[in-house]
C-alpha cells in the first residue's frame, strides 16, 4: 500500500514568493494533519481536517499560511508570502478514523526560504 | 496546557545493550500513547503504541510500559543494533476532547558498534 505522499520533497524559494506544498493521504483515511518540524520548536501541529473539513487551525502561525482539502485524496498548504523563518520540514499525516488516533506520516517537504 | 516531557534528549548505548526513553504527560484524559522513530531525512514512523487499558505492550525487541497513576510511559529497546540509531518521539492524545497528538521533544539514540 502506498503511504502518505508529499510533494515536492525539497523546495528552495526566495523570500516573498508563494509556496505550495501538496499531500495525498493514504487511501481510505478521512483525517489529515499538517505539521511543521524545526530544531527549535520540534513537531508543531498546524491544522487538521476531518472528512475534508478543517477542524482546528489554531496552530497556523500567521495569515500567510492557508490550507485546503478539496477532496479526500488531496490537500495543500500554502505560504504567501514566504519568509526565511518559514524554513522547516513540513509533514502531512493521515489517519483512517479521527477517533482511533494512529497517524501515519509522509516523508516531508524540506522548505528553504532564502 | 497539555504537555509531554521526554527524557533524555540524547542517549548513547553500546550495541547489544538496552535503551530506555521516558515520557511524562500532563493531561489525565490522555488514553493513547504512540511512539515514533524518525530516521534522517524521513518522516516519523510508528513503531509501537499503547492504550490506557493496558500497562505493557511488547513487539519483539521493543516494549512500552504505561503508569497511568504517575502519568508516565516508557519505551524499552533491548539488544540494540546500529539500525536502531534515530530520533524517537513519544506522543499522547485523548479520544475525547481535541484528539490532537501532543509530542515530546524527541530523544536522539545513538547505538555504538
Is the sign of the CA dihedral A3, A47, A79, A110 positive or negative?
Answer: negative
Q: Which of B56, B94, B95, B53 is nearest to B76 (CA)?
A: B56
Angle at A34 between CA A25 and CA B107, to 5 degrees: 105
Q: Which of B45, B2, B34, B53 is nearest to A101 (CA)?
A: B34
Q: Is B100 on the interface with A (CB under 8 A)?
A: yes
Q: Is A42 on the interface with B (CB under 8 A)?
A: yes
pLDDT of B100 reads 82
pLDDT of B98 reads 65
Asked if residue A106 lies in contact with residue A21, where contact means CB atoms within 8 angstroms, the answer is no
Q: Is B49 on the interface with A (CB under 8 A)?
A: yes
Backbone angles phi, psi at B83, to 5 degrees: -70, -5
- What is the Cα B41 distance to its own chain's centre? 20
Q: Helix or strand or coil: residue A94? A: strand
Contact (CB<8Å) A99/B95: yes
pLDDT tier for residue B99 given thresholds of 50, 70 and 90: confident
pLDDT at position A41 over 90: no
pLDDT tier for residue B50 given thresholds of 50, 70 and 90: very high
Q: Is A98 on the interface with B (CB under 8 A)?
A: yes
Asked if residue B60 lies in contact with residue B48, where contact means CB atoms within 8 angstroms, the answer is no
Is the sign of the CA dihedral A8, A111, A104, B43 positive or negative?
Answer: positive
Angle at A72 between CA A27 and CA A47, to 5 degrees: 105
pLDDT of B60 reads 95
Q: Helix or strand or coil: residue B106? A: coil
Contact (CB<8Å) B100/A42: no
Contact (CB<8Å) B44/A43: yes
pLDDT in tens, A75-93: 999 999 999 999 999 999 9
Asked if residue A76 lies in contact with residue A23, where contact means CB atoms within 8 angstroms, the answer is yes
Q: Is A25 on the interface with B (CB under 8 A)?
A: no
Q: Helix or strand or coil: residue B43? A: coil
* Distance between A77 CA and the closest CA of chain B, angstroms: 17
Give the whole-angstrom CA distance, residue A90 versus residue A114.
17
Q: Which of A96, A79, A113 is nearest to A10 (CA)?
A: A113
pLDDT in tens, B54-85: 899 999 999 999 999 999 999 999 999 999 99
pLDDT at position A34 over 80: yes
pLDDT at position A11 over 80: yes
Percentage of chain B lying above the pLDDT 90 cut: 78
pLDDT of B97 reads 62
Q: Is B43 on the interface with A (CB under 8 A)?
A: yes
pLDDT of A46 reads 95
* Distance between A11 CA and the closest CA of chain B, angstroms: 14
Alpha helix locations (H) across A1-114?
none
Asked if residue A3 lies in contact with residue A106, where contact means CB atoms within 8 angstroms, the answer is yes
Amino acid at each position: 500500500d502506498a503511504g502518505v505522499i508529499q510533494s515536492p520533497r525539497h523546495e528552495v524559494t526566495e523570500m516573498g514568493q508563494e509556496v505550495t506544498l501538496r499531500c495525498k493521504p493514504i487511501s481510505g483515511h478521512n483525517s489529515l494533519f499538517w505539521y511543521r518540524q524545526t530544531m527549535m520548536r520540534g513537531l508543531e501541529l498546524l491544522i487538521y481536517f476531518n472528512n475534508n473539513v478543517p477542524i482546528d487551525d489554531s496552530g497556523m502561525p500567521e495569515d500567510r499560511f492557508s490550507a485546503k482539502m478539496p477532496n479526500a485524496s488531496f490537500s495543500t498548504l500554502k505560504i504567501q508570502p514566504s519568509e526565511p523563518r518559514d524554513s522547516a520540514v513540513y509533514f502531512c499525516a493521515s489517519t483512517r478514523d479521527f477517533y482511533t488516533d494512529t497517524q501515519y506520516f509522509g516523508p516531508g517537504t524540506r522548505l528553504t526560504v532564502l | 496546557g497539555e504537555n509531554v516531557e521526554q527524557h533524555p534528549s540524547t542517549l548513547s548505548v553500546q550495541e547489544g545493550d538496552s535503551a530506555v526513553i521516558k515520557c511524562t504527560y500532563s493531561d489525565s484524559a490522555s488514553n493513547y500513547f504512540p511512539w515514533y522513530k524518525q530516521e534522517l531525512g524521513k518522516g516519523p514512523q510508528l513503531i509501537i503504541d499503547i492504550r490506557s487499558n493496558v500497562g505493557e505492550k511488547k513487539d519483539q525487541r521493543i516494549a512500552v510500559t504505561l503508569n497511568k497513576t504517575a502519568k508516565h510511559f516508557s519505551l524499552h529497546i533491548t539488544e540494540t543494533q546500529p539500525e536502531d540509531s534515530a530520533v524517537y518521539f513519544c506522543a499522547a492524545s485523548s479520544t475525547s476532547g481535541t484528539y490532537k497528538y501532543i509530542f515530546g521533544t524527541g530523544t536522539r539514540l545513538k547505538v555504538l558498534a
